[in-house]
């Protein structure tokens, strides 16, 4: 205030710059969706903690723009949600997964289920179930080859409606994982009512293994509860052999992380894991 107009103008300029950047990025994302260029998926394996056998694959969205370079999905997924682009983006990504699975099947491979992340708007979109059903039919996919990951916050205020949608997904043979488990507002009172199959422990707990007694206590509690509820447990973000070994103390079925593999382009995943 003391500096008068200049200070105000500086602040407002930097806001403009940021706003301008988002607008430019929105235009770029729109172009990418129109042309289909620069958007694709990488695939990260989930393996059995004890044997290392491939059990499932997570599809992670990737976007590289000619002027922005690689943009993190942590940025462009929320951007797509804010700008109404999430629906076309979602359809493109799901179709990409279905096409990929069909191509692996056609080459005589036996793919494992591929998990797709669902944002709030994707999960609550009225066409979700019909779209997935249509993909299964169009690409002649065996039941259960698509699975889904979502965070608890998505389900928070409309639990009964959420259960209906989750049941419809389960009826299609889809596994459903609660992503980033332990970080959100866990409503333990209704967790047992949700027709989900898997708890995916957030990587922050895995990365504090051996360093933070508190996070080990939470890990023990979550895995114990999951076992009681007959839910599969995945630990994500496993980066070191020490973390993998530490996880053996707990009831963790699957692990995922850089120790096993980074997210890979489809062909690399295929060569290393499916061939």
**Residue position matching structure tokens 């096993």:** 260
Regarding 72 and contact with ligand C2E (CB under 6 A), the answer is yes
Binding residue for ligand C2E, selected from 30, 40, 60, 225, defined by CB under 6 A = 60
Rounded distance between C-alpha atoms, residue 203 and residue 206, angstroms? 5
> Do residues 67 and 38 make contact, with C-beta atoms less than 8 angstroms apart?
no
Q: Pick from Ca ion, ligand C2E, none: which does 93 bind, CB < 5 to 8 A by kind?
A: ligand C2E
Binding residue for Ca ion, selected from 180, 244, 252, 261, defined by CB under 5 A = 180
Tokens of 113: 């289920």
Regarding 45 and contact with ligand C2E (CB under 6 A), the answer is no
> Do residues 177 and 196 make contact, with C-beta atoms less than 8 angstroms apart?
yes
Rounded distance between C-alpha atoms, residue 106 and residue 234, angstroms? 29
Select from 171, 186, 173 the least CA-distant residue to 226.
186
Q: Pick from ligand C2E, Ca ion, none: which does 253 bind, CB < 5 to 8 A by kind?
A: none
Please give the backbone phi and psi of residue 201, each rounded to the nearest 5 degrees, phi first: -70, 130
Regarding 179 and contact with Ca ion (CB under 5 A), the answer is yes
Regarding 61 and contact with ligand C2E (CB under 6 A), the answer is yes
**Residue position matching structure tokens 């504090």:** 208
> Do residues 163 and 131 make contact, with C-beta atoms less than 8 angstroms apart?
no
Regarding 117 and contact with Ca ion (CB under 5 A), the answer is yes
Does the CA dihedral 72-123-215-245 come out positive or negative?
A: negative
Q: How far is the CB of 269 from Ca ion (least distance, A)?
A: 16
Q: Pick from ligand C2E, Ca ion, none: which does 152 bind, CB < 5 to 8 A by kind?
A: none
Stretch touching ligand C2E by CB under 6 A, among 11-19, 66-74, 128-136, 153-161? 66-74
Select from 132, 129, 126, 123 the least CA-distant residue to 156.
123
Residue 100 or 119 with smaller CB distance to ligand C2E: 119
Regarding 25 and contact with ligand C2E (CB under 6 A), the answer is no
The dihedral region occupied by 91, where left means phi > 0, alpha psi between -120 and 50, and beta the remainder, is: alpha
Please give the backbone phi and psi of residue 140, each rounded to the nearest 5 degrees, phi first: 45, 55
Stretch touching ligand C2E by CB under 6 A, among 32-40, 170-178, 184-192, 255-263? 255-263
Binding residue for ligand C2E, selected from 56, 96, 100, 119, defined by CB under 6 A = 119
Regarding 64 and contact with ligand C2E (CB under 6 A), the answer is no
Tokens of 63: 């976007």
Regarding 70 and contact with ligand C2E (CB under 6 A), the answer is no
Residue 92 or 163 with smaller CB distance to ligand C2E: 92
Regarding 239 and contact with ligand C2E (CB under 6 A), the answer is yes
> Do residues 131 and 97 make contact, with C-beta atoms less than 8 angstroms apart?
no
Regarding 253 and contact with ligand C2E (CB under 6 A), the answer is no
Binding residue for Ca ion, selected from 65, 149, 152, 253, defined by CB under 5 A = 149
Residues binding ligand C2E (CB under 6 A) = 44, 60-61, 72-74, 77, 93, 117-119, 122, 149, 179-180, 203, 236-239, 257-258, 263
């Amino acid at each position: 205030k003391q500096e008068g107009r200049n200070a105000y103008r500086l602040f407002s300029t930097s806001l403009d710059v940021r706003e301008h950047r988002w607008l430019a990025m929105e235009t770029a994302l729109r172009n990418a969706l129109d042309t289909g260029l620069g958007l694709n998926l990488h695939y990260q394996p989930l393996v059995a903690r004890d044997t290392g056998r491939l059990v499932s694959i997570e599809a992670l969205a990737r976007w590289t723009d000619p002027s922005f370079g690689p943009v993190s999905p942590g940025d462009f997924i929320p951007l797509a949600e804010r700008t109404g682009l999430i629906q076309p983006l979602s359809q493109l990504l799901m179709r990409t997964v279905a096409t990929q699975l069909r191509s692996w099947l056609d080459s005589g491979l036996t793919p494992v289920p591929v998990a797709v992340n669902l944002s709030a708007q994707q999960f609550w979109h009225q066409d979700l179930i019909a779209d997935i059903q249509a993909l299964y039919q169009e690409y002649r996919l065996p039941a259960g080859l698509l699975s889904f990951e979502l965070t608890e916050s998505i389900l928070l205020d409309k639990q009964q409606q959420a259960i209906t949608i989750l049941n419809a997904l389960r009826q299609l043979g889809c596994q459903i994982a609660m992503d980033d488990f332990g970080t959100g507002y866990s409503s333990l009172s209704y967790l047992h009512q949700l027709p989900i199959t898997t708890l995916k422990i957030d990587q922050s707990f895995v990365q504090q293994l051996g360093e933070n007694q508190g996070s080990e206590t939470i890990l023990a509690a979550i895995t114990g509860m999951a076992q009681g509820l007959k839910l599969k447990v995945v630990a994500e973000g496993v980066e070191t052999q020490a973390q993998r070994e530490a996880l053996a103390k707990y009831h963790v079925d699957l692990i995922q992380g850089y120790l096993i593999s980074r997210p890979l382009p489809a062909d690399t995943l295929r060569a290393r894991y499916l061939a």
